[in-house]
Amino acid sequence: MRGRDEDTGEFLGASRSQQRRDALDVLALAQQLSALSASQLSKLPIPGDLLPHIADVQRIGSHIARKRQMAFLAKQMRREDDEVLDGIRDALDAGGEAARQGTALLHRAERWRERLLEESDAALAELIELHPSADRQQLRQLVRNTLDERKRNKPPHAFRELFRAVKELLEAGEPGDDETV
């Protein structure tokens, strides 16, 4: 595959230097993946056949054995399509699309929480209309407890609980997805 095209004189395929740079990029990605916890790995679009290899790298304590297993993991990852590796990189990237969507979800949940505290009945009715499976009584109780906490200058336990409940509701992503908050 390597060599020159007889007609045009151009080189065929990537140079050895480029192949080495690509392999080192995949090795760096493998090192990033091996540093993540199991819950973080479960959120990434990693093919199922790579997960046991990542677990092996995490399990091994010996430096040389770990380095050898890391090289094997990188070799297995190089066999994957570029789209798969790009998807993993994007999910890991703090500025990636997955991170942006997660941040947007947190901002929407925060806006809903503030609306529920400021205009409780109207905002609660709108939230219930958008998400019919929501527990109206629980949300109303959390709003009431949060307002009571603020009055008494207590620690924000119910304030955080309200945020968690709204975030879980928005994560459920029902058909009435609320971009209009």
Domain CATH code at residue 50:
1.10.60.30
In the chain, the number of structural domains is: 2
> Per the domain annotation, does 146 fall within a domain?
yes
- What distance in Å separates the CA atoms of residue 179 and residue 101, rounded to the nearest whole number? 12
Question: Confidence band (pLDDT; 50, 70, 90) for 4?
Answer: confident
Residue 159 in domain: yes
CA atoms within 13 A on the CB side of 104: 12
Q: Mark whether 79 and 49 lie in a shared domain.
A: yes
What is the dihedral sign for C-alpha 165, 166, 171, 174? positive
154 lies in a domain? yes
Is 4 inside a domain boundary? no
Phi then psi for residue 96, to 5 deg, are -75, 170
Q: Which residues of 111-123 are buried (b: 16+ CB within 10 A; e: fewer)?
A: ebbebbbeebeeb
* Structural domain harbouring 88: 16-93
The CA–CA distances, whole Å, from 116 to 82, 129, 130 equal 45, 14, 14
Average per-residue pLDDT for the chain: 87
**21 and 70 inside one domain:** yes
Point out the domain boundary residue: 59, 76, 93.
93
Cβ–Cβ under 8 Å, residues 34 and 54: yes
Tens of pLDDT, residue by residue over 138-181, are 999 999 999 999 999 999 899 999 999 999 999 887 544 444 44
Q: Which residues contact 144 (CB under 8 A, 6 or more apart)?
A: none
Q: Which of residues 93, 113, 143 is at a domain's end?
A: 93
